[in-house]
Structure formats: C-alpha cells, structure tokens
A and B are shown apart, each in its own frame.
Chain A
C-alpha cells in the first residue's frame, strides 16, 4: 500500500521503542561523523578568528563587490531553513499525511539553518562586537536603527523566524519529551522530565496544546512567505540592475523552498538508512517531496525566464546588459550551473523511476543545493560586479581560503548540530506517529 502512514507498527509501544532506541546506541558510524563535522566546525571557527584578527581583507571582498560569499551563504542558509516550516506548518494545515514522519527533522533543519544564516551577517560585519548597534535600544546618541531600511526589516524577520521556528519545534516535542521521561529512569528521566514541563496528556492538556499548535501553524505559514520576501527586498529595494524587480519576493520564496526540500532529501535519506526507518520514511514520502521539488523547480525556471524577458521587453538598457552579462560574462559558468541544477535536473523527477530511487533523489538533492548556492552568488556578486557605470565594473574573484574554510565550517556546523539533535531528541514525532497508526492495526 502506498501511503505516508507508518508501516508495520502494531502497538503504540512499538512506535515509542523504534524512535527512542535510536537515541541511546547510535553506533560507530555516528561517532565518526560527529568527529568529522566537529573538525569542520573547528576549521571554520579558526578561519573566522583569523579574519577578526587580520580584518576583512582576509576575504576577497573589495569594491565593487562588497557583498560576496558571506551574503551568498546567508541567503543560501535562510533558504534552506524554509522547507522545515513549510512541511511542519503548511502541510499540517492541509492535513497532508506524509508530513508526520518528516516534520520533526525538517523543523530541526530549519532552526539550525537559521542559526547558521544568522552567523553570516556577523561574519560579514568584520567588527562583530558592535553588532548590537542594529538592535532597537535607546543609546546615548539617541540614534535608532532605521525602520525604513530593508536591512532592519531583515534583522526583525530573521530573529522572528528563528524564535517562532524554535518555539514551534519545542512545543511540538513536549509530549514526546514526556514519553521519554516516562520510559527512562535516573538522570535521563529527570532531564527529559524538566524539558517536558510536567506534561501529562490529559484531555484538557491536549485541547489547549492543539489550539496553540494550530495557531502556531497558522502564524508560521505567512511567516515563511514573509521572511524570504524580506530577504529578497535586501536586494530588490536597491536600484541596481538585476535586483530592482517586483518578481524577487515570490522568486526567492520558491527558490528557498526548492533548496530546503533538497536539503530534506539529503538529510532524511541517510537518516532512514542509518536508523532503519524504512517503515516510517516510506518511498511514498520521498515521492511527495520529489513532486514538490518539481513544482518549485518549475517556478524557479519560470522566474529565471521572466527576469530575462522583462529585462529585454522593458527597454531598460542597464537591466538588459546585466542579464546578458550574467549569461556570457565572468560568472557565466556559475549561471549555467544554476540553470542546469535548479531547472533541468529536477525535470528528471517527472519519471516515477527516478522519484522512487533514493540514490537518484539524493544526487538530485545535492545538485539542487549546488545550483541554489550558485544562484545566490550570481544574483549577489553578479549585479555588484556589473552595475550602471562601466568605470566601476569589477569582479569578485571567488572565495579566498578563509571564505572557503568558513563555508566548510558552516556546513559542518549544520550537520554537527543535526547529528546532536538525532542523538538526544526524537527525530520523528512519537505522538504524531501513534496518531497515524490506523486503530485497526493495533493489536491488544
């Protein structure tokens, strides 16, 4: 039977045990990857420390491309963060059955990705110790952040998104933490009991919880749309050719969901194998993710085409020149990489054989992630390198060693945090899993 429902579970206790056992004995493979990613985090931290000591000259950031790989990484990671909330909130409202087993891990992905995205403006700032200037507080000069600036919008949007995503994730986990509290003894029971806040699961508790969770989902849904729209306005509210476009908000949101879904594939396919979750993360679930990637890929492809069409049809010379330069200039190979990976590669998912082949899905996930990173680079660096005046043209000559190390560090930190999550917290919602077991399959 093809469905998003868990397979082969005949009691609620089985659901508990299948999820909880993965938390105690993750195996040597797990510790190997903890070490590898931990090393990557150290590399990134050292590189950032070096940059703080020596200054931003350690990165290849110079006029005219002042926003280079760090802002590329920022937008990339914010994008990755989008699918978690999409899956947990929007699919919750639509009662999509395949959401059950993927929502928790996707939400965790969201939180870690936003945390990492939030690091990049700090890294890009150079003098990270004065970051508090962006916060709205009455300082001695009575100089407030400018609430008309998209950069301040961005700070508010990203911090709201991080806070809301975290609370959504944590609230959804409270009943599961109570289950773990009740299935353990000693210090584990005390720690999980503390985190469960005294949850008992009475009808009153579930009713208030259900109300809060529904509103969380309803509030998180427009938030998903708004956050990447606000990120896109960092660019679109500027008058630079290639940025100043009304299509940017929906285009960025679609791209964000596209990359986020790709990351869901990249995380969940190994998770399924390592934790033996074949009966929970069924092929049907991956097929549904793949179908959604087809949709987002088509929207992204359409956006690329419309951008070019508008630049020509509008008769705006700098705009048309910018788009022509993107296809043929210094970053043209990045541009074509982006088009191939984001638009043409996902077309393969129209074939059921590809959609149901996990190796193919994993490969496509990786390629889409690469494509989306290049998309950010092309948009951010490409426009600054080739603005209105030819005398100020110049290119960003790709990341320096420090930038590469920080990029590696960011990916390592992401996977490191995800591995810690997989060790200490349930990667699949236990209570939702029990809810999804058809009552007829429960044996007394």
Chain B
C-alpha cells in the first residue's frame, strides 16, 4: 500500500471538526476515519454517510430466521406429541404466533449485535495506532492516510483548519 503514513489532527470542538471535514472533502483529501467521544449526526452528515449502515441486513436476516425457528419449534413439538383432542388436527396454528414473535425479536437482536461486532471488527485486543485515549473523552480526531510527499501539505492544512495538535504516525 502506498499510503502507509497517517496524519491525525486533533480538534476540541465539534463545529471545528465538522468544518474541517467539509473543507478536506471539498479539497478531495480522502478522510480515513473520524474519532469522536459521542455519536454525532453533524459528523456523519459532514462525511456524507447515510444514517443506517449495512447492519440492518443482519437484523432482517435474524428476524426471518427467528420467525422460522419459532414456528418450527411449535409445529415440530406438536407433531411429536400428536395429542389429538376432539378429532382436531394436532398442529394448532394460532399459538405458533407467540413463539414466532418472541424468536423474531431474540434472533433479530442477536444478529444486530453480531453484525455490529463483525462490521466493527470487535472484539479486538489492540487498538489502532491512530487511536488516542483522548478521543473517547473530550477530543475529536481526523485521520488521513497519505503518501510521504503529501503528508506535509495535509499536516499544514489540518493546522490551518484549527487542529489543536497534528501527529504523524508511521
């Protein structure tokens, strides 16, 4: 990979980081990551990201798998027992709604969580080199990967945009 060096600009205020993202994107400087201590729709909008991630497909798959499991369990167990009362068919359909519904919720939640962990490559033992402990506390960080020739310019641009600190990470 050409761009092995990362430039990390650290910002104090959300307005500053939002402005910096918009400027860097306008100048076609590719932003690798933006760290923030909380979920910010301003940052997401500045990055031009959609509000929902691909995790929603995990949820959908889990929900379908859950309904199928719930119905299967109820129907299968009734078929095993064959407790015929009054000549009625041994598999009742109405009561399958409850296990189907509960398993829908359960599996959808499992898959949502699993999807989030998988997409975020979690759990992980080592944090990224570009990560700074202050990013979970009170600072924001913009990470840009660059080639050796571009890094100086990007560092200077981050400083112009109000970065409190700019670091280069090899």
Q: Which of A146, A171, A220 is within 8 Å of B116, CB to CB?
A: A171
Asked whether A203 and B34 contact (CB < 8 A) given A215-B59, A219-B105, A431-B39, the answer is yes
In the complex, chain B residues whose CB is within 8 Å of the CB of A214: 52
A222 interface hit (Cβ, 8 Å): yes
Mask, B80-108, CB within 8 Å of A = 1, is 11000000000010011011011101101
Q: In the complex, which residue of chain A has the Cβ closest to the Cβ of B139?
A: A12
B105–A201 CB distance below 8 A: no
Q: Which single residue of chain A is at the shortest CB-CB distance from B142?
A: A203
User: With an 8 A cutoff between CB atoms, is B37 at the interface?
Assistant: yes
Q: Using an 8 Å CB-CB cutoff, how does the interface string of A129-163 with B read, 1 for contact, 0 for none?
A: 00000001000001111111000010011001001
Residues of A within 8 A of B103 (CB): 156, 160
Q: How distant is the Cα of A16 from the Cα of B105 in the complex, in angstroms?
A: 33
Given contacts A147-B99, A434-B37, contact A208 B115 (CB under 8 A): yes
Q: What is the bound-complex CA distance between A226 and B97, given in angstroms? A: 11
Q: What residues on A are CB-neighbors of B109 within 8 Å?
A: 163-164, 167-168, 215-216, 219-220
Encoded as 1 (CB less than 8 Å from any A CB) or 0, chain B from 101 to 139 comes to 111011011101101110111111111100101111110
Contacting pair B80 A144 (CB below 8 A): yes
Give the contacting residue for B73; candidates A12, A136, A181, A182; CB below 8 A.
Answer: A136
The reply to whether the CB of B74 lies closer than 8 angstroms to some CB of chain A is: yes
Q: Is B77 an interface residue (CB 8 A)?
A: yes
Assembly CA distance A210 to B36 (angstroms): 13
Of B35, B95, B99, which is within 8 A of A201 by CB? B35
Contact B138 A203 (CB under 8 A): no
Q: Nearest chain-B residue to A227 (Cβ)? A: B102
Shortest Cβ distance from A19 into chain B, in angstroms? 12
A-side contacts of B95, CB under 8 Å: 147-148, 153
Which residues of chain B in 46-69 are interfacial with respect to chain A, using CB atoms and an 8 Å cutoff? Answer: 47, 49, 51-56, 59
Per the CB 8 Å criterion, the residue count for chain B at the interface is 65
B contacts with A: majority SS: helix
| Residues A439 and B15 in contact, CB atoms below 8 Å apart | yes
User: Contact at B55–A208, with CB atoms within 8 Å?
Assistant: yes
Cross-chain contact of B38 among A200, A215, A434 (Cβ < 8 A): A434
Which residues of A lie under 8 Å from residue B120 when comparing CB positions?
Answer: 199, 204-205, 208-209
Q: Which of B14, B34, B53 contacts A439 (CB 8 A)?
A: B14
Expressed in whole angstroms, the minimum distance between the Cβ of A250 and any Cβ of chain B is 17
Q: A201 with B37: in contact, given A11-B138, A16-B137, A207-B53 (CB under 8 Å)?
A: yes
Docked complex Cα distance between A147 and B70 (Å): 10
Residues of B within 8 A of A226 (CB): 101-102, 105
A211 to B55, CA, bound (A): 6
Give 3 nearest A-B pairs by CB, closest first: A198-B124, A144-B77, A12-B138
Interface residues of chain B, those whose CB is within 8 Å of chain A, are: 12-15, 33-40, 43-44, 47, 49, 51-56, 59, 73-74, 77-78, 80-81, 92, 95-96, 98-99, 101-103, 105-106, 108-110, 112-113, 115-117, 119-128, 131, 133-138, 143
What are 26 A-B pairs with beta-carbon distances under 8 A?
A12-B38, A144-B80, A147-B74, A147-B99, A148-B92, A153-B99, A153-B102, A156-B102, A163-B106, A182-B136, A183-B137, A198-B125, A198-B126, A201-B35, A201-B136, A202-B128, A207-B53, A210-B51, A211-B53, A211-B55, A211-B112, A215-B56, A216-B112, A431-B37, A431-B39, A444-B13
